[in-house]
Amino acid sequence: PKTILLKDYQPPKYKVADVHLDIRIFAGKTLVTATTRFTKNHDGAEPLVLNGERLKLVSVAINGAATTNYTVDDKTLTIPHPGNEFTTVIETEICPEENTALEGLYMSGGNYCTQCEAEGFRTITYFPDRPDVMTIFTTRVEGDKKTCPVLLSNGNLIEDGDCGDGRHYAIWHDPFPKPCYLFALVAGDLVHIRDSFTTMSGRIVDLRIYVRAGDENQCDWAMESLKRSMEWDEKTYGREYQLDRFNIVAVSDFNMGAMENTSLNIFNTALVLARPETATDMDFERVEGVIAHEYFHNWTGNRVTCRDWFQLSLKEGLTVFRDQEFTADMNSRGVKRIDDVVRLRNMQFPEDAGPMAHPIRPDNYIEINNFYTLTVYEKGAEVIRMQHTLLGDDKYRKATDLYFDRYDGMAVTCDDFLQCMQDSSGVDLSQFKLWYSQAGTPEVTAEGHYDAAAKTYHLTLSQTVPPTPGQPDKKPMHIPVMVGLVGPNGHDLDVTPPPSVIPAKAGIHTNQTMDSGLRRNDEKGVSYLLELKDSKQTFTFKNVAVKPVPSILRGFSAPVKLHTNLSDDDYRFLMVHDSDGFNRWESGQILALRMMGRMIDTVESGGAAVTDPAFIDSYGLMLDQANASNADRALMARALSLPDLAIIAQQRKIVDPDTIFTVRRRVLHDLAARYRDQIQAIYDSCNTPTTYSNDAESAGRRALKNVCLRLLMNGPNPPVSLARQQYESANNMTDRVAALSVLAETDGADRDAVFADFFKRFEQYPLVIDKWFSLQASAPIPSTLDRIATLKDHPAFSLLNPNRVRSLFAAFAMNNPVCFHAKDGRGYDILTNAIIALNTKNPQIAARLLGPLREWRRYTPDRQAKMKAALERILAQENLSPDVFEIVSKTLK
Ligand code: BAL
Ligand code: ZN
């Protein structure tokens, strides 16, 4: 397969003035007629080269005359220079019924739907399938009245009617130019719920969510979330919706979470349907966040789009930042920041340290679908967040206004975005640009020194950026490091900062980045934004009356790994006193990581792991806080949780999942043994039998309660009957699934009973059955390996449904390191077989499943050999898709 390079970018040779699509759907075949008006966009007489794959070409006409003057291969249709302005009419035939890759036009649950990003449109018709060819689409969809009563496409409905023979049609017109990756079509038998939103200039927008019959009572939350998103984007970014319709369609077979096609968002049902009985609090938050994300793309992605796919983070990083901020505003800002950082560290940091490491703007790819990554999305969002931090609220908003003014209707680059940030604010971002081109997570080291005589505090920050594939040497980055100096009384010191550093007092500068949102009301935090630009820099604070403890990287102001020379005592102090809630939480996590690291060292050198009594004592302080009547329970649920296995693994040179798991379990056991009564008391206080409510306070209560349940179940004499009782009496999915997940880790009659009950109870709810699969696959107990063999042959399992595949194989390989890395290699076999089976059916999903094998070089030698052999077995397959080939070959390199 061919590698595509950013440096080879050339503007399109032909532009498209407009396109009329006529799509006639019949059972077993769909006829597509594309009438396209082209204009030449270069000086010479180059041929017109159109992309097209898996198409049956029926006819070609130019300016009204049929022609055979073209060549066609399996990827392109080429017409020798047809002129400066001309119209082509191309007829093709496709078969959505046989499309298992779920790219282009395909069927899900008996309905027709599309997924065109990144390059799916070329499987619908011949077209210049590249994001910088933007045009006006008019689409006529025709289908059978009985099987396809609903006919949708982008834009506004301009006509519909009967065509006789039991068929009908609808014509949709989208007045805003867009690239073909944003084209969408839905035809099928769906029901909808309906609402409206009045925009700030008074336009009444007809909002509809389409689902299969029977699911319409699970759509209210998504509709509410959509209206909140529309309002938020007007208030926060001044962005208004400018079409008459906004449709969301939920389908159950979908490779991604959702897709932002202009005015016709197509969603995975998992991110639309939500009712308390069937969806957890986390599901609700995800639905809200993704509805917002896709809506926000209307401006950041659709109205202003990407010039080429290397610029993907232009729309994705920015839109993730926007959805993160929306969720923070709708819920708890502090908790959201913690959750986002945990996700980044769990999933993006390993990507950035592995064989597929790439900058947020990659400079080469074989298959673009492989670059819808945590790096492009989540690190991309951190890069926008840092720009927001460096500019501050007001300047950032002015800069985004400029961006929309300058580029509405255009396809642009990440550099164009940064230029707006600079032009409008005057802030120099020339060095900052390296965040777009350098891969790898920077490592920052901080060392402080207090000079009592001079009353100065010197903070030396240094940085290195690790080598990554193709990038052995890196330049120093521009890193915003938010810092506070905490005095012995626990209050932030107000000192004279280094020249040109502006103190960012709580509530003064911005509520978004200067304050991670967890500041306690009674505290006056003072933070300073230090801009680290050199390899090493010393910042001197004056008038520092007493020796402070520095709180560094408040709010996680940059996506870096921080090393400090702070002692455990310093962290215990910050854990209680830091005015920045993110760093209070972080201090507890650092203490736990340090201790578990020491314990793993001990086990690996043949000793027995002992939980540090000092750690157990400080955990007691957190339990006291959690038990207070005014506790922020959602936050305490995070504070009382130990770092995940994946995060502990990142601290190790050589990863032995068994040791990591055993040590973490030991700590949980010792904490539960020592604090059994306190934990039970918190559980009881959160378990007040009230009617269900989905407000943040109630969700926080459930989160804390379920952390306590898990702790108790890890202690001596696990209270299986308590878990069973919670399972039976739950009036919501959060509590029920929490009980089920702890019972999943036991072996016995209770476990079997609840799993059997759960299946029977929710058989009609595919998304809940996904949970049933995934909880069993995630259970770190020896019987899981046998169970997976049975589950993959379960009648409810299907390799053709991406959610189901994720619920079994991805859950197993990603959430269950102990079983996946079983020494006999059975875990690797299970995953490898699934990848091989999926390679031809659904290459995108097959490639996604390779993630857990990516870090094979970091595991113990016996595991390394088996993981490598698994990768080589995949590479040796015939008909390897470019998706799978790219990842396997780069991983083995
Ligand atoms: N554009 C692909 C799906 C998403 O990021 O919204
Ligand atoms: Zn997106």
Nearest to 247 by CA among 196, 322, 318, 323: 196
Residue nearest to atom 4 of ligand 1 (CA): 259
Q: What mean pLDDT is predicted for residues 393-407?
A: 97
- pLDDT-based confidence at residue 505 (cuts at 50, 70, 90): low
**Is the ipTM above a cut-off of 0.85?**
yes
User: Is the pLDDT score of 518 beyond 70?
Assistant: no
State which ligand 1 atom lies nearest to the alpha carbon of 297.
6
> What is the whole-number distance in angstroms between the Cα of residue 649 and the centre of ligand 2?
29
**Residues with C-beta atoms within 5 A of ion ligand 2:** 316, 319
- pLDDT-based confidence at residue 506 (cuts at 50, 70, 90): very low
Residue 380 pLDDT: 98
Q: What is the rounded distance in angstroms from the CA atom of residue 308 to the CA atom of residue 313?
A: 11
Residue 293, ligand 1, Cβ within 6 A: yes
State which ligand 1 atom lies nearest to the alpha carbon of 320.
5
Residue 211, ligand 1, Cβ within 6 A: no
User: Is the pLDDT score of 712 beyond 70?
Assistant: yes
Residue 519 pLDDT: 42
> What is the whole-number distance in angstroms between the Cα of residue 832 and the centre of ligand 1?
27
Nearest to 190 by CA among 148, 162, 224: 148
User: Is the pLDDT score of 350 beyond 70?
Assistant: yes
User: Is the pLDDT score of 4 beyond 60?
Assistant: yes
Residue 316, ligand 1, Cβ within 6 A: yes
User: Is the pLDDT score of 509 beyond 50?
Assistant: no
- Return mean pLDDT, the chain: 96
User: Is the pLDDT score of 320 beyond 90?
Assistant: yes
User: Mind listing the pLDDT tens digit for each residue in 610-654?
Assistant: 999 999 999 999 999 999 989 999 999 999 999 999 999 999 999
- Which fold is adopted by the domain 305-437? Neutral Protease; domain 2 (1.10.390)
Residue 271, ligand 1, Cβ within 6 A: no
Residue 292, ligand 1, Cβ within 6 A: no
Residue 520 pLDDT: 41
Q: What is the rounded distance in angstroms from the CA atom of residue 452 to the CA atom of residue 544?
A: 8
- Yes or no: say if 632 and 704 are a contact pair by the CB < 8 Å rule: no
User: Is the pLDDT score of 700 beyond 70?
Assistant: yes
Domain boundaries, the chain: 4-189, 305-437, 763-893
> What is the whole-number distance in angstroms between the Cα of residue 118 and the centre of ligand 1?
9
User: Is the pLDDT score of 393 beyond 60?
Assistant: yes
> What is the whole-number distance in angstroms between the Cα of residue 7 and the centre of ligand 1?
25
Query: Which ligand is closest in space to the CA of residue 271?
Result: 1
User: Is the pLDDT score of 517 beyond 60?
Assistant: no
Residue nearest to atom 2 of ligand 1 (CA): 259
User: Is the pLDDT score of 241 beyond 70?
Assistant: yes
Residue 381, ligand 1, Cβ within 6 A: no
- pLDDT-based confidence at residue 37 (cuts at 50, 70, 90): very high
Residues 80-106, buried b or exposed e (16+ Cβ, 10 A)?
A: eebeeebbbbbbbebebeebbbbbbbb
Q: What is the rounded distance in angstroms from the CA atom of residue 724 to the CA atom of residue 754?
A: 8
Exactly one of 288, 294, 351, 586 is catalytic; which is it? 294
- pLDDT-based confidence at residue 414 (cuts at 50, 70, 90): very high
Residue 511 pLDDT: 32
Residue 459 pLDDT: 98
User: Mind listing the pLDDT tens digit for each residue in 106-137?
Assistant: 999 999 999 999 999 999 999 999 999 999 99
Mutate to test the pocket of ligand 1, among 291, 316, 326 (most ligand atoms within 8 A of CB): 316
Residue 256, ligand 1, Cβ within 6 A: yes
> What is the whole-number distance in angstroms between the Cα of residue 324 and the centre of ligand 2?
12
Residue 689 pLDDT: 67
State which ligand 1 atom lies nearest to the alpha carbon of 256.
3
User: Is the pLDDT score of 521 beyond 90?
Assistant: no
Residue nearest to atom 3 of ligand 1 (CA): 259
Greater model confidence, 666 or 494: 666
Residue 503 pLDDT: 72
> What is the whole-number distance in angstroms between the Cα of residue 320 and the centre of ligand 2?
7
Residue 37's SS3 state is: strand
Q: What mean pLDDT is predicted for residues 796-807?
A: 98
User: Mind listing the pLDDT tens digit for each residue in 48-95?
Assistant: 999 999 999 999 999 999 999 999 999 999 999 999 999 999 999 999
Q: What is the rounded distance in angstroms from the CA atom of residue 667 to the CA atom of residue 609?
A: 9
Residue nearest to atom 5 of ligand 1 (CA): 316
CATH class of 4-189: mainly beta
Residue 467 pLDDT: 98
Number of H helices, E strands in the chain: 29, 32
- Yes or no: say if 828 and 866 are a contact pair by the CB < 8 Å rule: yes
Residue 385, ligand 1, Cβ within 6 A: no
Is the backbone peptide bond immediately before 118 cis, with ω within 30 degrees of 0? yes
User: Mind listing the pLDDT tens digit for each residue in 585-598?
Assistant: 999 999 999 999 99
State which ligand 1 atom lies nearest to the alpha carbon of 377.
5
- pLDDT-based confidence at residue 558 (cuts at 50, 70, 90): very high
Residue nearest to atom 1 of ligand 1 (CA): 259
Q: What mean pLDDT is predicted for residues 12-34?
A: 98
Nearest to 787 by CA among 747, 758, 739: 747
State which ligand 1 atom lies nearest to the alpha carbon of 293.
6
Residue 253, ligand 1, Cβ within 6 A: no
How far is CA 397 from its chain centroid? 24
- Which residues touch 886 (CB under 8 Å, ≥6 apart)? 1, 365, 366, 367, 370, 847
On whether the 763-893 domain is CATH 3.60.110.10, my answer is no
User: Is the pLDDT score of 507 beyond 60?
Assistant: no
Catalytic-residue membership of 53: no
Residue 378, ligand 1, Cβ within 6 A: no
Residue 522 pLDDT: 42
Residue 260, ligand 1, Cβ within 6 A: yes
Q: What mean pLDDT is predicted for residues 843-849?
A: 98
